[in-house]
Amino acid sequence: MKMMKALVHEAAGRKNASIRMVPYPVCGDDEVVIKVMACGICKWAEINHDTEGGGGTLAKYPVITGHEFAGYIVEVGKNVTEYKIGDRVTADNAIPCGKCWYCRNGKPLLCEHFGSHGHNINGGFAQYLKIVAKNVVKLPDNLSFDEASVAEPVACAVEALDRANIKPGEEVIVSGMGPHGLILAQLCHFSSAQHSVAIGLVESRLKTLESYGVPTILAERNDASVHEAKLREMFPHGVDCIIDTSGAWPMVQSLLKFLRKGGRFVQYGSYHSSIQIENPAKFLNDLHFNNQSYVGVSCQVNNFPRAIEYMANGKCNVSTLVTHTFDLDDYFLALDTNKTDKSTLKVVIHPNGDPNKETDLS
């Protein structure tokens, strides 16, 4: 039997995970097998899997984790005609069931039996992965495998952009400059918005955005009045939309002052369960009486083609997002680095070694 190396979680928690040899995937008639050259660590998902009792609502064990992957096609099923061996690809990890009420009513993102490679279907922290061909997207020559592994976060950001429904001439604030904030700041800047600004705490990340032409404001952690004064000067009448990726409730409280009547607040980052809203009734009534909308966005379906296009045409530059790379054998070191090293943005695993030296398509 042909075997491969993979990270397998028998259950949530590090003690239940190991890197070991497992059977090579059997390619179905409508599937392809991808030789995984890069698979990104999603801080939220992988830390959940690593935590005893964690894993998230999608998790089903045993499973090979990793849902942000790219590589070469090495095998195609007999019904697959649009791809060939050697194609450089990524793929949408989302597999809606197609049968539940939401799927049958055109809302696959809300699928009641949502499948996801890396959560409840084997994912990309393995040398090989099989997936239905309809989810596969070819890579343009100007995207490396490391860059292409960021397609899933970009696809999620595209969903947020859709839900934000930014109209021509509107003004937007994007807060939190982790990977998702850096992505959304670019997407909003190149959207139909009249003006958008990115606000965050890390000056070097803001400088990177400025080099792409994106306006920025450095947030002041200990005195919100400092950045609020800059926002008030830039947007004296407030903004139409705020997209928060920070997961920091004090930042949200600071920014909500600038949301116009009729505006939208988009929660893209998750807030800590210990957060207490001082006066929930006032928070909700302010939304109510100001005709404001609260929008939650957490994942995506079917946005990979647009994500790749944004990345390829320079409207979403991800070249600086991958800050650390590791071999599969060093997965747990990579995960710890992602948890503790403040310089990390995206940490990427190379299951088959350095993708820049790859020549064997077997």
pLDDT tens digits, residue range 254-285? 999 999 999 999 999 888 767 777 788 988 89
Name the one residue in this structure whose structure tokens are 């505006």. 263
* DSSP at 160: H
Element (H, E) at 88: strand 88-91
One-character DSSP codes across 1-27 = --EEEEEEESSSSGGGEEEEEEEPPPP
Structure confidence by residue, pLDDT tens digits, 146-205:
999 999 999 999 999 999 999 999 999 999 999 999 999 999 999 999 999 999 999 999
C-alpha closest to that of 323 among 351, 342, 304, 310: 342
Q: What is the pLDDT of residues 136-158, one digit of tens each?
A: 999 999 999 999 999 999 999 99
What was the pLDDT predicted at 279?
Answer: 82
Look up residue 270 and give its two tokens: 């998750």
- C-alpha to C-alpha distance for 254 and 272, rounded to whole angstroms: 17
Nearest CA to 147 among 233, 232, 71?
71
Where do the domains of the chain lie, and which CATH numbers do they carry? Answer: 3-150+321-357 (3.90.180.10), 155-296 (3.40.50.720)
Residue 56 has pLDDT above 70, yes or no: yes
Q: Which two tokens stand for residue 208?
A: 């990177």
Predicted local confidence at residue 93, as pLDDT: 98
Q: How many angstroms separate the CA atoms of 130 and 25, rounded?
A: 6
Secondary structure of 90-108 in the HEC alphabet? EECCEECCCCCHHHHCCCH
Please state the pTM of the whole predicted model: 0.95
Query: What pLDDT shows up at residue 277?
Result: 77
Q: Which is nearest to 6 in space by CA: 35, 45, 47?
A: 35
Looking at residue 154, what is its pLDDT? 98
